[in-house]
Amino acid sequence: MNVLFQMSKGEKSPIELIYISNNGEITHRTIIVKEIQDKYIKAFCLMKQQPRLFNRSNILSAAKPRFKNNVHYA
């Protein structure tokens, strides 16, 4: 996952996350990483349209966005 976080930060490109909140809610997020810390990822969340702080231990998966024929499938 670190490579994806570095790529998102360096290229200012989005990545997709599956994230579980501290209260157990699982969400799909598309983010652009702004800062990488040991325990947290600071990013702009395209779903919430605001900066967010993601606990690294709560990130279940990360991947490049999937595109086909200019249509986004998530």
**Full-model pTM:** 0.84
pLDDT at 72: 53
Please check whether residue 35 is in contact with residue 42, taking contact to mean a CB–CB distance below 8 angstroms.
Answer: yes
- 3-state DSSP call for residue 39? coil
pLDDT (tens digit per residue) in 11-57:
999 999 999 999 999 999 999 999 999 999 999 999 999 999 999 99
Kindly report the CATH class assigned to 2-64.
mainly beta
CA–CA distances in Å: residue 7 to residues 13, 16, 25, 41: 7, 12, 27, 13
